[in-house]
Chain A
Amino acid sequence: MAQAPARPLTNYHGAQDIERWQARRRWARAGIVYTVMLLFSILFLGPLLFATVSSLKENPLEYPPTLAIPQLSPRNWSAAASLGRAGAGAPLWGGFAPGAEVPFEVTYFVPEGLEATPPAVSVPRRRPGGGLGAVQQIEYAADYASVTPAQEVGREPGGYVDEDGETLTGEVVTYGFRVLYEGDGPKVDRLPVDVEVEERDQVFVSSTLALSRLERRGRVASYDNLAPGALGYTFNNYARVFKEARSITTGRSLFLSWTLNSFVIALAKVVSTILFASMAGYALARLHFPGKNIIFVLILFAQMIPGQVNFISNYLVLRDGIFGLSRLWGQASLLNSLSGVILSGLVGAGAVFIMKQFFETIPREVEEAAMIDGTTQWQRFFRVVMPMARPALGALTILTFQGAWNDFFWPLVVLTTPEDIKTLPIGLLTFRNIYGATGDWGLILAGAVMSALPIIILFIVFQRYFLEGVSYGGGKE
């Protein structure tokens, strides 16, 4: 930018005046800095937040995208709750059970010169989405529901602004109907309903619960679930992740299995890394022995060689159960088993490097004092050195957990069949392959948000360790 003018301050401004002028500049500067920082926050958090909010939507690909989402409106929450109570006595998760009597109202605008006609209400046999859910046996509400004819419950004069911006005058008519569950039968999860009018000009205005979509040029107001319950309405996609994505063989929720697997692998790796990396790091930092330099060079190389070089041999090693060793505990092959992923990642070279760097910073004197007391090397390590390493171990725990939780390539190679054995990241790839094809992004986004939740909670709680981890990873060499 342009050079600052080198002109001297002219003498008709006193020092105080200039001081005030400069203070004003400082304030403005702080204001601009905060504004820029806020903009950065929106930039970096925006996609995450937008995806989280959109994951509540029935169709996250709706265009234009909007933040005014019916699932976030308290009016719909309370409507969904009372409909859920009417449907199955369940205000939270809803449903359609014997004895149900679900009252519902739909309001239309009818322009002058047109006679309002009651809509035809039907309960369609509709599958709850495609993908993995398509192969399950489910009950249909259509087999048990009956609908009372829609009757007029209110009528008043009103206006309506159409797409061209013209205001039409006419009447606003409200119809009411009930969906009944007579006789005995199972409780059904969903109660899809279509409300159809004959005339296109009879325009849908509002209903007890926001509709799922308008079909057939606005003539059919379609509801995916007329008795959803408050949570069932708001978190429909989240419920679907658990309900629809089930293992074909065991019927267990895939997402639950994946979450459990991810936790088992991450926790096992954290424990083994903490123990083995500090042992190795301590030896490298403190003890004198031949071969130290070679090991150190290997550590540096191990961090640079791409995983694509080693995975070929490692895949074969796991396939043969580490030279048949795994037969000792009854596994012929370590492919498609969590222990395979854990055993091949007990301790990484990077973790050893971090611990070595850390142990070099703590003073020897403490240990020497313990040495005089006549303790063994082993005792000194566990009683004296490890307790001092707590800050580094905190960062290492977080780094390892995060790495294991988010790991993609190696689990993708090792864990392929059955679906139950996968971890969350590769499970999400399964979701993406199955549901992405049909454009069902609600389920994919809900799964993605849930899989990120543990790590985000961990980040909020242990923020300090995460940020320290970055500087350890950066290694102040």
Chain B
Amino acid sequence: MTNPVAVPQTTAERPRSWYKRNEIALTPWLFLIPGVLFFLVYVIFPIFQSISISFTEWDGLGQAEPVGLENYRELFDDDAFYTSLRNNIIWLFLYLLAIPAGLFIALFLNQTVFGIRLYKSLFFFPFVISQVVVGLVFSWFYDPTFGLFNEIIGWFGLGPVNVLGDERYVTYGIIAAGIWPQTAYCMILYLTGLNAVDPEQVEAARLDGAKGWRMLWYVIIPQLKPATFIAFVVTIIGALRSFDLISIMTNGGPFGESRVLSFYMFEVALSEYGFRMGYGAAIAVILFLIMMIFITYFLWSMYREERGR
């Protein structure tokens, strides 16, 4: 009797659940959670962890001892660090040659003749094979006693040059090996970019009498801008990550002259003779800061692009 008469409710009037009310805003985040979680655990968190390890002295086994900025002080007084830094800069600049090289191969291959797919595949091949194989092939190519390279320069009365054993040439020799697959990568980016070039614009330019270099520079390349941007990003990142070729071809030698920062970090912290996690982390932090310059630039230009739309 005390029971109140149940108020008849229609479903439409019942207040909707919190989730239902916010569904549109929440769903993207729900989908993002796994990605964000992994990104935090495997990318963001390790960055801060490396930074904190870089302020300690730690052999990876015992207790880490805080040493403040000691690792950085030592780093800036370390010849091997400057050698690695110098090589990193050489890598950065010379590796960019892969972009124009890739562009020209792409232009060359962007035609329809019999078997063009095969030619494209062959040019793309070096990017598909492992860097380890590239490194091995090139170290045989450069071999001072039996290698093809010395044979070839011998025809011009030069050499013999021990490319990988001479501290003056070793970095350039490795970069040349690295550019080979990187050119293929840039080529494929430009080939797809060339598919998107507006034929009407080309036609219009042709009617206006543009051809050759002027056509390329003023009509084609501006339309390839997105491809160029991606090629630039992957090449810069590739140059800074260079590790496998050095490890295969010279192991950092002769006497450490072909090291780059990533390889030096591996050597001091993780290799057969290295046990200095703190020092390695300090090198990693420096490398991170260098990468940060480029990453910031990339993000900023992408952001600007998005807003411009």
A is bound by B: no
Give A residues with C-beta under 8 Å from B: none
